[in-house]
Structure 1
Amino acid sequence: MGEKKSYFDEQDEGSVDDAVIATEARFDETTTSRTGATALRWVLTLIVFFLFAGMAWLTWSLAPVVVGALASAVLFSCMHVVLEWERSVVLRFGKFNRVAGPGLIFMIPLVEYSAATVDMRMRSTAFKAEHVLTADLVPVNVDAVLFWTVWDAGKACSEVKNYVRLV
Protein backbone atom coordinates (compact mmCIF):
# COMPACT_ATOMS: atom_id res chain seq x y z
CA MET A 1 0.00 0.00 0.00
CA GLY A 2 1.10 3.48 -0.78
CA GLU A 3 1.63 6.04 1.86
CA LYS A 4 -1.15 8.52 2.54
CA LYS A 5 -0.70 12.05 1.39
CA SER A 6 -1.84 15.06 3.29
CA TYR A 7 -4.89 16.83 1.92
CA PHE A 8 -2.92 20.04 1.50
CA ASP A 9 -0.20 18.35 -0.59
CA GLU A 10 -2.56 17.44 -3.42
CA GLN A 11 -1.99 19.09 -6.75
CA ASP A 12 -4.79 21.41 -7.78
CA GLU A 13 -6.33 20.47 -11.07
CA GLY A 14 -7.79 23.27 -13.15
CA SER A 15 -11.49 23.39 -12.42
CA VAL A 16 -14.25 25.35 -14.12
CA ASP A 17 -14.35 27.76 -11.16
CA ASP A 18 -10.65 28.55 -11.56
CA ALA A 19 -11.20 29.29 -15.25
CA VAL A 20 -14.05 31.66 -14.41
CA ILE A 21 -11.93 33.45 -11.81
CA ALA A 22 -9.07 33.82 -14.28
CA THR A 23 -11.43 35.15 -16.94
CA GLU A 24 -12.92 37.71 -14.54
CA ALA A 25 -9.43 38.89 -13.62
CA ARG A 26 -8.65 39.58 -17.28
CA PHE A 27 -11.80 41.69 -17.74
CA ASP A 28 -11.08 44.00 -14.80
CA GLU A 29 -10.04 46.74 -17.18
CA THR A 30 -12.60 48.89 -18.89
CA THR A 31 -13.50 47.27 -22.19
CA THR A 32 -15.70 50.04 -23.50
CA SER A 33 -14.80 52.39 -26.32
CA ARG A 34 -14.29 56.12 -25.89
CA THR A 35 -14.18 56.84 -29.62
CA GLY A 36 -17.60 58.50 -29.64
CA ALA A 37 -16.63 60.84 -26.81
CA THR A 38 -13.35 61.74 -28.48
CA ALA A 39 -15.11 62.26 -31.82
CA LEU A 40 -17.54 64.71 -30.16
CA ARG A 41 -14.62 66.74 -28.81
CA TRP A 42 -13.00 66.84 -32.25
CA VAL A 43 -16.24 67.78 -34.04
CA LEU A 44 -16.97 70.70 -31.70
CA THR A 45 -13.37 71.89 -31.95
CA LEU A 46 -13.39 71.72 -35.75
CA ILE A 47 -16.72 73.59 -35.92
CA VAL A 48 -15.20 76.47 -33.92
CA PHE A 49 -12.10 76.49 -36.12
CA PHE A 50 -14.08 76.49 -39.36
CA LEU A 51 -16.31 79.33 -38.10
CA PHE A 52 -13.21 81.44 -37.58
CA ALA A 53 -11.79 80.28 -40.93
CA GLY A 54 -15.05 81.34 -42.60
CA MET A 55 -14.73 84.79 -40.99
CA ALA A 56 -11.15 84.97 -42.30
CA TRP A 57 -12.32 84.07 -45.79
CA LEU A 58 -15.00 86.75 -45.70
CA THR A 59 -12.65 89.45 -44.41
CA TRP A 60 -9.58 88.35 -46.40
CA SER A 61 -7.49 88.46 -43.23
CA LEU A 62 -5.19 85.90 -41.62
CA ALA A 63 -5.83 87.07 -38.03
CA PRO A 64 -9.15 85.18 -37.56
CA VAL A 65 -7.47 81.93 -38.62
CA VAL A 66 -4.80 82.35 -35.93
CA VAL A 67 -7.41 83.32 -33.33
CA GLY A 68 -9.57 80.38 -34.42
CA ALA A 69 -6.68 77.94 -34.09
CA LEU A 70 -5.92 79.22 -30.57
CA ALA A 71 -9.60 79.18 -29.58
CA SER A 72 -9.96 75.62 -30.90
CA ALA A 73 -6.90 74.45 -28.96
CA VAL A 74 -8.20 76.02 -25.74
CA LEU A 75 -11.67 74.57 -26.29
CA PHE A 76 -10.28 71.10 -26.94
CA SER A 77 -8.17 71.22 -23.76
CA CYS A 78 -11.00 72.36 -21.48
CA MET A 79 -13.79 70.16 -22.88
CA HIS A 80 -14.15 66.60 -21.60
CA VAL A 81 -16.76 63.89 -22.04
CA VAL A 82 -17.56 61.75 -19.00
CA LEU A 83 -19.41 58.54 -19.79
CA GLU A 84 -22.68 57.50 -18.11
CA TRP A 85 -21.11 55.20 -15.51
CA GLU A 86 -18.21 57.52 -14.67
CA ARG A 87 -17.69 60.59 -12.53
CA SER A 88 -14.79 62.99 -12.89
CA VAL A 89 -13.22 64.52 -9.78
CA VAL A 90 -12.31 68.14 -10.60
CA LEU A 91 -9.65 70.00 -8.64
CA ARG A 92 -9.24 73.77 -8.78
CA PHE A 93 -5.72 74.89 -7.90
CA GLY A 94 -5.18 71.50 -6.25
CA LYS A 95 -8.23 71.73 -3.97
CA PHE A 96 -11.35 69.60 -4.38
CA ASN A 97 -13.96 71.58 -6.31
CA ARG A 98 -16.67 69.24 -7.59
CA VAL A 99 -17.62 65.86 -8.98
CA ALA A 100 -18.67 66.30 -12.60
CA GLY A 101 -20.48 64.09 -15.05
CA PRO A 102 -21.90 62.31 -16.82
CA GLY A 103 -21.94 64.23 -20.06
CA LEU A 104 -19.98 67.09 -21.57
CA ILE A 105 -18.08 69.05 -18.94
CA PHE A 106 -15.98 72.16 -19.26
CA MET A 107 -12.99 73.06 -17.11
CA ILE A 108 -11.12 76.34 -16.87
CA PRO A 109 -7.75 75.82 -18.60
CA LEU A 110 -4.68 75.99 -16.33
CA VAL A 111 -6.95 76.42 -13.27
CA GLU A 112 -8.99 73.22 -13.09
CA TYR A 113 -8.06 69.67 -13.97
CA SER A 114 -9.58 66.24 -13.68
CA ALA A 115 -7.68 64.41 -10.97
CA ALA A 116 -9.37 61.07 -11.64
CA THR A 117 -12.23 59.51 -13.51
CA VAL A 118 -14.00 57.05 -11.21
CA ASP A 119 -15.96 54.06 -12.50
CA MET A 120 -19.24 53.91 -10.54
CA ARG A 121 -20.28 50.44 -11.74
CA MET A 122 -20.36 47.43 -9.46
CA ARG A 123 -17.11 45.47 -9.59
CA SER A 124 -16.19 42.02 -8.44
CA THR A 125 -12.95 40.71 -7.08
CA ALA A 126 -12.57 36.94 -7.02
CA PHE A 127 -10.42 35.11 -4.51
CA LYS A 128 -9.02 31.71 -5.36
CA ALA A 129 -9.65 28.59 -3.33
CA GLU A 130 -8.17 28.57 0.12
CA HIS A 131 -7.51 25.34 1.96
CA VAL A 132 -8.77 25.67 5.53
CA LEU A 133 -9.67 23.34 8.35
CA THR A 134 -12.92 23.61 10.26
CA ALA A 135 -13.10 23.40 14.05
CA ASP A 136 -13.59 19.62 13.81
CA LEU A 137 -10.54 19.28 11.48
CA VAL A 138 -12.45 18.74 8.24
CA PRO A 139 -10.57 20.16 5.22
CA VAL A 140 -12.63 22.61 3.17
CA ASN A 141 -12.00 24.60 -0.01
CA VAL A 142 -13.28 28.16 0.22
CA ASP A 143 -13.89 30.36 -2.82
CA ALA A 144 -15.08 33.93 -2.42
CA VAL A 145 -16.21 36.83 -4.55
CA LEU A 146 -16.26 40.38 -3.24
CA PHE A 147 -18.73 42.77 -4.90
CA TRP A 148 -17.99 46.46 -4.38
CA THR A 149 -18.89 49.85 -5.80
CA VAL A 150 -18.00 53.50 -5.21
CA TRP A 151 -20.81 55.63 -3.77
CA ASP A 152 -18.98 58.97 -3.47
CA ALA A 153 -16.29 59.61 -6.08
CA GLY A 154 -15.03 62.74 -4.33
CA LYS A 155 -14.36 60.95 -1.06
CA ALA A 156 -12.89 57.93 -2.84
CA CYS A 157 -10.24 60.11 -4.49
CA SER A 158 -9.61 62.55 -1.66
CA GLU A 159 -9.78 60.29 1.41
CA VAL A 160 -8.41 56.95 0.15
CA LYS A 161 -4.67 56.91 -0.44
CA ASN A 162 -3.78 55.75 -3.97
CA TYR A 163 -7.39 54.93 -4.90
CA VAL A 164 -6.63 55.26 -8.60
CA ARG A 165 -3.90 52.62 -8.31
CA LEU A 166 -6.17 50.27 -6.35
CA VAL A 167 -8.57 50.04 -9.25
Structure 2
Amino acid sequence: MVDVGSFIGQIFVIVLLLVIAIFVVVVIFRSIRIIPQAYAGIVERLGRYQRTLSPGLNLLVPFVDRLRPLVDMREQVVSFPPQPVITEDNLVVSIDTVVYFQVTDARAATYEIANYLSAVEQLTTTTLRNVVGGLNLEEALTSRDNINGQLRVVLDEATGKWGLRVSRVELKAIDPPLSIQDSMEKQMRAERDRRAAILTAEGSKQSQILEAEGRRQSEILRAEGDKQAAVLRAQGEAEAIEMVFDAIHAGEPDDKLLAYHYLQTLPKIADSASSKLWVIPSEMTEALKGIGAAFGGRAEDIPRKDPTPRSKPNGPTRAAADAALAAAREAASAADDIATEARKTTPGTAAGPGEAR
Protein backbone atom coordinates (compact mmCIF):
# COMPACT_ATOMS: atom_id res chain seq x y z
CA MET A 1 0.00 0.00 0.00
CA VAL A 2 1.42 3.42 -1.11
CA ASP A 3 2.29 5.89 1.56
CA VAL A 4 0.03 8.89 0.98
CA GLY A 5 2.18 11.26 2.98
CA SER A 6 5.33 10.55 1.02
CA PHE A 7 3.47 10.86 -2.31
CA ILE A 8 2.08 14.23 -1.34
CA GLY A 9 5.53 15.31 -0.27
CA GLN A 10 6.98 14.32 -3.64
CA ILE A 11 4.29 16.23 -5.51
CA PHE A 12 4.92 19.29 -3.37
CA VAL A 13 8.61 19.13 -4.06
CA ILE A 14 8.02 18.82 -7.81
CA VAL A 15 5.60 21.78 -7.81
CA LEU A 16 8.04 23.84 -5.75
CA LEU A 17 10.84 23.08 -8.16
CA LEU A 18 8.64 24.09 -11.07
CA VAL A 19 7.70 27.33 -9.36
CA ILE A 20 11.32 28.05 -8.58
CA ALA A 21 12.28 27.36 -12.21
CA ILE A 22 9.53 29.61 -13.51
CA PHE A 23 10.58 32.32 -11.05
CA VAL A 24 14.18 32.08 -12.17
CA VAL A 25 13.15 32.32 -15.82
CA VAL A 26 10.97 35.33 -15.07
CA VAL A 27 13.74 37.01 -13.10
CA ILE A 28 16.22 36.42 -15.88
CA PHE A 29 13.76 37.69 -18.48
CA ARG A 30 13.06 40.86 -16.49
CA SER A 31 16.71 41.46 -15.74
CA ILE A 32 18.03 41.38 -19.30
CA ARG A 33 17.06 44.17 -21.77
CA ILE A 34 18.36 44.56 -25.34
CA ILE A 35 18.07 48.11 -26.71
CA PRO A 36 18.14 48.47 -30.54
CA GLN A 37 20.39 50.96 -32.28
CA ALA A 38 19.08 54.56 -32.52
CA TYR A 39 16.78 54.01 -29.55
CA ALA A 40 17.07 54.90 -25.86
CA GLY A 41 15.37 53.41 -22.80
CA ILE A 42 14.36 55.18 -19.59
CA VAL A 43 14.72 53.07 -16.41
CA GLU A 44 12.69 53.93 -13.34
CA ARG A 45 13.54 52.37 -10.00
CA LEU A 46 10.56 52.32 -7.68
CA GLY A 47 8.87 54.98 -9.82
CA ARG A 48 11.83 57.34 -9.98
CA TYR A 49 14.18 58.03 -12.87
CA GLN A 50 17.27 55.90 -12.43
CA ARG A 51 19.19 55.96 -15.75
CA THR A 52 18.98 55.95 -19.55
CA LEU A 53 19.83 52.72 -21.30
CA SER A 54 22.08 52.87 -24.35
CA PRO A 55 21.79 50.50 -27.34
CA GLY A 56 22.95 46.95 -26.61
CA LEU A 57 22.62 44.47 -23.71
CA ASN A 58 21.57 45.96 -20.37
CA LEU A 59 20.79 44.37 -16.96
CA LEU A 60 18.01 45.51 -14.66
CA VAL A 61 17.07 44.69 -11.10
CA PRO A 62 13.94 42.57 -11.44
CA PHE A 63 10.76 43.73 -9.75
CA VAL A 64 12.54 46.95 -8.79
CA ASP A 65 13.51 48.58 -12.08
CA ARG A 66 10.93 49.34 -14.76
CA LEU A 67 11.73 50.13 -18.40
CA ARG A 68 9.55 52.78 -20.06
CA PRO A 69 8.70 52.67 -23.78
CA LEU A 70 11.71 53.18 -25.98
CA VAL A 71 12.41 56.63 -27.40
CA ASP A 72 13.33 56.97 -31.09
CA MET A 73 16.51 59.04 -31.37
CA ARG A 74 16.45 59.36 -35.18
CA GLU A 75 15.46 62.53 -37.02
CA GLN A 76 11.76 62.52 -37.63
CA VAL A 77 9.65 64.18 -40.33
CA VAL A 78 6.14 65.22 -39.41
CA SER A 79 3.66 66.75 -41.86
CA PHE A 80 0.92 68.74 -40.22
CA PRO A 81 -2.51 69.23 -41.84
CA PRO A 82 -3.36 72.56 -43.51
CA GLN A 83 -3.89 75.41 -41.10
CA PRO A 84 -6.00 78.51 -41.93
CA VAL A 85 -3.95 81.67 -41.54
CA ILE A 86 -5.10 85.28 -41.97
CA THR A 87 -2.66 87.57 -43.77
CA GLU A 88 -2.16 91.26 -43.19
CA ASP A 89 -4.55 92.14 -46.03
CA ASN A 90 -7.32 90.03 -44.40
CA LEU A 91 -7.12 87.04 -46.72
CA VAL A 92 -7.46 83.50 -45.39
CA VAL A 93 -4.88 81.09 -46.77
CA SER A 94 -4.29 77.42 -45.99
CA ILE A 95 -0.68 76.53 -45.22
CA ASP A 96 0.79 73.02 -44.97
CA THR A 97 3.96 72.69 -42.92
CA VAL A 98 6.61 70.00 -42.62
CA VAL A 99 8.85 69.90 -39.54
CA TYR A 100 12.16 68.02 -39.27
CA PHE A 101 13.22 67.41 -35.67
CA GLN A 102 15.29 64.98 -33.61
CA VAL A 103 15.21 63.88 -29.95
CA THR A 104 18.54 64.70 -28.37
CA ASP A 105 17.65 64.01 -24.71
CA ALA A 106 15.40 61.03 -24.03
CA ARG A 107 14.96 61.95 -20.35
CA ALA A 108 13.75 65.53 -21.16
CA ALA A 109 11.50 64.27 -23.97
CA THR A 110 9.92 61.83 -21.49
CA TYR A 111 9.57 63.96 -18.39
CA GLU A 112 9.54 67.61 -19.64
CA ILE A 113 6.60 67.28 -22.03
CA ALA A 114 3.67 64.91 -22.07
CA ASN A 115 3.38 64.61 -25.90
CA TYR A 116 6.11 66.39 -27.79
CA LEU A 117 4.52 65.69 -31.23
CA SER A 118 1.31 67.47 -30.29
CA ALA A 119 3.31 70.27 -28.66
CA VAL A 120 5.39 70.77 -31.83
CA GLU A 121 2.26 70.88 -33.98
CA GLN A 122 0.53 73.48 -31.83
CA LEU A 123 3.65 75.57 -31.52
CA THR A 124 4.14 75.46 -35.30
CA THR A 125 0.57 76.60 -35.91
CA THR A 126 0.73 79.55 -33.51
CA THR A 127 4.14 80.67 -34.73
CA LEU A 128 3.04 80.39 -38.35
CA ARG A 129 0.00 82.56 -37.73
CA ASN A 130 2.12 85.09 -35.94
CA VAL A 131 4.69 85.30 -38.75
CA VAL A 132 2.29 85.22 -41.71
CA GLY A 133 -0.11 87.64 -40.02
CA GLY A 134 2.42 90.43 -40.52
CA LEU A 135 2.72 89.79 -44.27
CA ASN A 136 0.37 90.39 -47.16
CA LEU A 137 -0.49 87.68 -49.66
CA GLU A 138 2.16 88.68 -52.19
CA GLU A 139 4.89 88.70 -49.54
CA ALA A 140 3.68 85.40 -48.10
CA LEU A 141 3.89 83.75 -51.49
CA THR A 142 7.35 85.13 -52.30
CA SER A 143 8.98 85.01 -48.84
CA ARG A 144 8.95 81.30 -48.05
CA ASP A 145 12.60 81.19 -47.10
CA ASN A 146 12.14 84.03 -44.65
CA ILE A 147 9.08 82.36 -43.10
CA ASN A 148 10.89 79.02 -42.85
CA GLY A 149 13.84 80.62 -41.09
CA GLN A 150 11.68 82.42 -38.55
CA LEU A 151 9.69 79.27 -37.79
CA ARG A 152 12.81 77.17 -37.31
CA VAL A 153 14.40 79.69 -34.91
CA VAL A 154 11.25 79.99 -32.77
CA LEU A 155 10.60 76.22 -32.67
CA ASP A 156 14.22 75.37 -31.90
CA GLU A 157 14.29 77.80 -28.98
CA ALA A 158 10.95 76.57 -27.58
CA THR A 159 11.67 72.84 -27.95
CA GLY A 160 15.23 72.94 -26.63
CA LYS A 161 14.12 72.31 -23.02
CA TRP A 162 12.04 69.36 -24.23
CA GLY A 163 15.10 67.57 -25.48
CA LEU A 164 14.28 68.25 -29.13
CA ARG A 165 16.26 69.90 -31.91
CA VAL A 166 14.31 71.37 -34.84
CA SER A 167 16.61 71.25 -37.86
CA ARG A 168 14.27 72.38 -40.63
CA VAL A 169 10.79 73.79 -41.23
CA GLU A 170 9.25 73.90 -44.70
CA LEU A 171 6.02 75.35 -46.04
CA LYS A 172 4.70 72.61 -48.27
CA ALA A 173 1.82 74.57 -49.79
CA ILE A 174 0.18 77.97 -49.53
CA ASP A 175 -3.33 77.86 -50.96
CA PRO A 176 -5.16 81.21 -51.27
CA PRO A 177 -8.94 81.34 -51.81
CA LEU A 178 -10.32 80.32 -55.21
CA SER A 179 -11.37 83.88 -56.08
CA ILE A 180 -7.86 85.11 -55.34
CA GLN A 181 -6.41 82.29 -57.42
CA ASP A 182 -8.58 83.33 -60.38
CA SER A 183 -7.49 86.94 -59.99
CA MET A 184 -3.86 85.91 -59.79
CA GLU A 185 -4.16 83.76 -62.90
CA LYS A 186 -5.76 86.66 -64.80
CA GLN A 187 -3.02 88.97 -63.61
CA MET A 188 -0.31 86.55 -64.66
CA ARG A 189 -2.00 86.01 -68.02
CA ALA A 190 -2.18 89.76 -68.58
CA GLU A 191 1.46 90.11 -67.60
CA ARG A 192 2.49 87.37 -70.02
CA ASP A 193 0.42 88.96 -72.80
CA ARG A 194 2.08 92.30 -72.10
CA ARG A 195 5.53 90.76 -72.25
CA ALA A 196 4.63 88.92 -75.44
CA ALA A 197 3.37 92.17 -77.01
CA ILE A 198 6.55 93.97 -75.96
CA LEU A 199 8.73 91.23 -77.41
CA THR A 200 6.70 91.24 -80.63
CA ALA A 201 7.02 95.01 -80.92
CA GLU A 202 10.75 94.82 -80.25
CA GLY A 203 11.11 92.14 -82.92
CA SER A 204 9.11 94.19 -85.42
CA LYS A 205 11.16 97.26 -84.59
CA GLN A 206 14.44 95.42 -85.08
CA SER A 207 13.14 93.91 -88.31
CA GLN A 208 12.15 97.31 -89.70
CA ILE A 209 15.48 98.79 -88.63
CA LEU A 210 17.36 96.00 -90.34
CA GLU A 211 15.23 96.31 -93.49
CA ALA A 212 15.75 100.09 -93.57
CA GLU A 213 19.46 99.60 -93.04
CA GLY A 214 19.52 97.04 -95.84
CA ARG A 215 17.66 99.39 -98.19
CA ARG A 216 20.01 102.24 -97.29
CA GLN A 217 23.07 100.12 -97.94
CA SER A 218 21.52 98.91 -101.19
CA GLU A 219 20.77 102.48 -102.33
CA ILE A 220 24.28 103.56 -101.37
CA LEU A 221 25.85 100.71 -103.29
CA ARG A 222 23.56 101.32 -106.28
CA ALA A 223 24.43 105.04 -106.22
CA GLU A 224 28.11 104.19 -105.99
CA GLY A 225 27.70 101.84 -108.94
CA ASP A 226 25.85 104.47 -110.99
CA LYS A 227 28.50 107.00 -110.08
CA GLN A 228 31.31 104.72 -111.16
CA ALA A 229 29.42 103.82 -114.35
CA ALA A 230 28.76 107.48 -115.15
CA VAL A 231 32.40 108.37 -114.50
CA LEU A 232 33.61 105.52 -116.69
CA ARG A 233 31.07 106.39 -119.39
CA ALA A 234 32.11 110.05 -119.32
CA GLN A 235 35.76 109.08 -119.46
CA GLY A 236 35.05 106.80 -122.42
CA GLU A 237 33.13 109.50 -124.26
CA ALA A 238 35.84 112.04 -123.52
CA GLU A 239 38.50 109.70 -124.85
CA ALA A 240 36.36 108.93 -127.93
CA ILE A 241 35.82 112.64 -128.63
CA GLU A 242 39.48 113.33 -128.11
CA MET A 243 40.44 110.51 -130.49
CA VAL A 244 37.93 111.72 -133.11
CA PHE A 245 39.10 115.29 -132.67
CA ASP A 246 42.73 114.25 -133.05
CA ALA A 247 41.87 112.11 -136.08
CA ILE A 248 39.99 114.96 -137.74
CA HIS A 249 42.84 117.41 -137.19
CA ALA A 250 45.37 114.83 -138.29
CA GLY A 251 43.42 114.29 -141.54
CA GLU A 252 43.14 118.06 -142.24
CA PRO A 253 39.62 117.94 -143.77
CA ASP A 254 38.51 120.68 -146.14
CA ASP A 255 35.14 122.40 -146.47
CA LYS A 256 33.98 119.93 -149.07
CA LEU A 257 34.36 116.91 -146.78
CA LEU A 258 32.64 118.69 -143.89
CA ALA A 259 29.75 119.67 -146.16
CA TYR A 260 29.39 116.07 -147.30
CA HIS A 261 29.24 114.74 -143.72
CA TYR A 262 26.78 117.50 -142.86
CA LEU A 263 24.42 116.25 -145.57
CA GLN A 264 24.76 112.67 -144.27
CA THR A 265 23.68 113.81 -140.81
CA LEU A 266 20.56 115.65 -141.95
CA PRO A 267 18.33 112.52 -142.41
CA LYS A 268 18.82 111.64 -138.77
CA ILE A 269 16.97 114.80 -137.77
CA ALA A 270 13.66 113.37 -139.01
CA ASP A 271 14.40 109.82 -137.90
CA SER A 272 11.98 110.00 -134.95
CA ALA A 273 8.45 108.64 -135.58
CA SER A 274 6.95 111.45 -133.47
CA SER A 275 8.38 114.22 -135.67
CA LYS A 276 5.49 116.08 -137.30
CA LEU A 277 7.38 119.17 -138.47
CA TRP A 278 10.89 119.19 -139.90
CA VAL A 279 12.62 122.58 -139.90
CA ILE A 280 15.43 122.62 -142.43
CA PRO A 281 18.25 124.84 -141.23
CA SER A 282 19.56 127.54 -143.55
CA GLU A 283 23.02 126.02 -143.43
CA MET A 284 21.74 123.14 -145.58
CA THR A 285 21.59 125.32 -148.68
CA GLU A 286 25.09 126.52 -148.05
CA ALA A 287 26.26 122.93 -147.78
CA LEU A 288 24.54 121.95 -151.02
CA LYS A 289 26.04 124.98 -152.73
CA GLY A 290 29.44 123.92 -151.47
CA ILE A 291 28.95 120.44 -152.85
CA GLY A 292 27.78 121.88 -156.16
CA ALA A 293 30.76 124.18 -156.29
CA ALA A 294 33.03 121.25 -155.52
CA PHE A 295 31.63 119.16 -158.34
CA GLY A 296 31.74 122.17 -160.62
CA GLY A 297 35.34 122.87 -159.74
CA ARG A 298 36.32 119.31 -160.42
CA ALA A 299 34.56 119.41 -163.77
CA GLU A 300 36.47 122.55 -164.75
CA ASP A 301 39.77 120.99 -163.67
CA ILE A 302 39.31 118.02 -166.09
CA PRO A 303 41.77 118.44 -168.96
CA ARG A 304 40.31 118.60 -172.40
CA LYS A 305 41.96 116.93 -175.36
CA ASP A 306 40.65 119.44 -177.83
CA PRO A 307 39.72 123.02 -177.35
CA THR A 308 35.99 122.86 -177.21
CA PRO A 309 33.72 125.67 -176.02
CA ARG A 310 32.45 125.27 -172.44
CA SER A 311 28.87 125.51 -173.64
CA LYS A 312 29.26 122.38 -175.69
CA PRO A 313 30.74 119.70 -173.57
CA ASN A 314 31.37 116.30 -175.04
CA GLY A 315 32.42 112.96 -173.56
CA PRO A 316 30.97 110.91 -170.74
CA THR A 317 33.07 112.55 -167.98
CA ARG A 318 31.96 116.04 -168.76
CA ALA A 319 28.32 114.96 -169.01
CA ALA A 320 28.41 113.20 -165.61
CA ALA A 321 29.99 116.19 -163.91
CA ASP A 322 27.45 118.58 -165.39
CA ALA A 323 24.59 116.30 -164.35
CA ALA A 324 25.89 116.07 -160.79
CA LEU A 325 26.34 119.82 -160.62
CA ALA A 326 22.85 120.41 -161.88
CA ALA A 327 21.37 117.94 -159.44
CA ALA A 328 23.24 119.54 -156.52
CA ARG A 329 22.05 122.98 -157.51
CA GLU A 330 18.47 121.77 -157.86
CA ALA A 331 18.66 120.06 -154.45
CA ALA A 332 20.06 123.24 -152.89
CA SER A 333 17.32 125.34 -154.45
CA ALA A 334 14.63 122.87 -153.33
CA ALA A 335 16.03 122.76 -149.81
CA ASP A 336 16.11 126.54 -149.72
CA ASP A 337 12.49 126.71 -150.82
CA ILE A 338 11.42 124.12 -148.24
CA ALA A 339 13.26 126.01 -145.48
CA THR A 340 11.62 129.27 -146.50
CA GLU A 341 8.15 127.71 -146.47
CA ALA A 342 8.80 126.12 -143.10
CA ARG A 343 9.85 129.42 -141.58
CA LYS A 344 6.80 131.12 -142.97
CA THR A 345 4.37 128.51 -141.64
CA THR A 346 6.07 128.26 -138.24
CA PRO A 347 5.17 131.22 -136.01
CA GLY A 348 7.96 132.88 -134.08
CA THR A 349 10.69 131.50 -136.40
CA ALA A 350 13.41 133.93 -137.36
CA ALA A 351 14.33 134.34 -141.00
CA GLY A 352 17.44 132.65 -142.25
CA PRO A 353 20.43 134.40 -143.66
CA GLY A 354 19.81 136.01 -147.00
CA GLU A 355 16.00 135.97 -146.59
CA ALA A 356 13.71 138.90 -146.28
CA ARG A 357 12.73 139.62 -142.68
What TM-score does the superposition give when structure 2 sets the normalisation length?
0.26
1:148 Cα deviation from its structure 2 partner = 1.7
How far apart are 1:124 and its partner, in Å? 2.0
Cα deviation, residue 131, structure 1:
4.5
Deviations 1:77-118 (A, max 9, x none): 222221112110001111111000211222101111112311
Tell me the residue number matched to 2:177: none
- In the alignment, which residue of structure 2 is the partner of 1:110? 63
Could you tell me how far apart the structure 1 residues matched to 2:107 and 2:90 are? 46
State the Cα distance separating 1:139 from its structure 2 match.
6.0
Q: CA deviation at 1:163?
A: 3.6
In 2, the alpha carbon distance for the partners of 1:165 and 1:128 equals 13
Answer yes or no: is 1:72 the counterpart of 2:25: yes
Q: What code does the residue aligned with 1:104 have?
A: L
Q: What does residue 342 of structure 2 align with?
A: none
**Deviation of 1:136 (Å):** 4.2
Q: Where in structure 1 are there 5+ consecutive unaligned residues? A: 1-60
What are the equivalent positions in structure 2 for 1:112-127 lying under 5 Å apart?
112-127=65-80
Paired letter, 1:127: F
| TM-aligned CA distance change 1:85 to 1:138, over 3 Å | same
Q: CA deviation at 1:123?
A: 1.6
The structure where strand makes up a greater share of residues is 1
Q: 1:109 to 1:164 in 2, by over 3 A?
A: farther
Identity of matched residues, %: 26
Count of residue pairs brought into register by the alignment: 106
- CA shift for structure 1 position 147: 1.5
CA distance in 1, matches of 2:117, 2:87: 36
Instruction: State the match for 2:43 in structure 1.
Output: 90
Identify the match of residue 82 of structure 2 among 129, 132, 137.
Answer: 129
Taking the aligned partners of 1:62 and 1:80, their CA distance within structure 2 comes to: 30
Contact 1:92 1:112 in 2 (8 A): yes
2:70 aligned counterpart, secondary structure: strand
Q: Is the 8 A contact 1:82 1:88 kept in 2?
A: yes
Higher RCO, 1 or 2 (CA under 8 Å, sep at least 6)?
Answer: 1
Deviation at 1:153, TM superposition (A): 0.5
Q: How far, CA to CA, are the matches of 2:83 and 2:112 in structure 1?
A: 32
Alpha-carbon distance between aligned partners in 2 of 1:166 and 1:80, rounded to the nearest angstrom? 29
Query: What CA deviation, in whole Å up to 9, does each residue of 1:48-98 have, x standing for no partner?
Result: xxxxxxxxxxxxx969x6444432221012222211121100011111110
Alignment of 1:48-63 (within 5 A): none
Paired residue type of 1:152: D
Aligned residue type for 2:97: A
The one-letter amino acid of 1:82's match is I
In 1, the alpha carbon distance for the partners of 2:70 and 2:21 equals 30
C-alpha separation in 1, matches of 2:52 and 2:34: 13
Higher-Rg member (1/2): 2
Distance apart, 1:126 and its partner CA: 1.2
Task: State the Cα RMSD in Å.
Answer: 3.2
Residues 26-65 of structure 1: pairs in structure 2 closer than 5 A: none
- What CA distance in whole angstroms lies between the structure 2 residues aligned with 1:164 and 1:142? 21
**Shift of residue 134 of structure 1?**
3.5
Rate the CA distance shift 1:109–1:166 in 2: closer, same or farther, 3 A: farther
Quote the residue 2:96 is aligned against. 143
1:152 CA displacement? 0.6
Q: Which residue of 1 aligns with 2:280?
A: none
Alignment partner of 1:149: what SS? strand
The aligned residue for residue 106 of structure 2 is 153
CA contact (8 A) 1:85 1:102 kept: yes
Distance, in Å, in 1 between the alignment partners of 2:101 and 2:112 is 17
Does the C-alpha gap of structure 1 residues 137 and 164 become closer, same or farther in structure 2, counting only changes over 3 Å? closer
User: Post-superposition shift, 1:142?
Assistant: 2.1
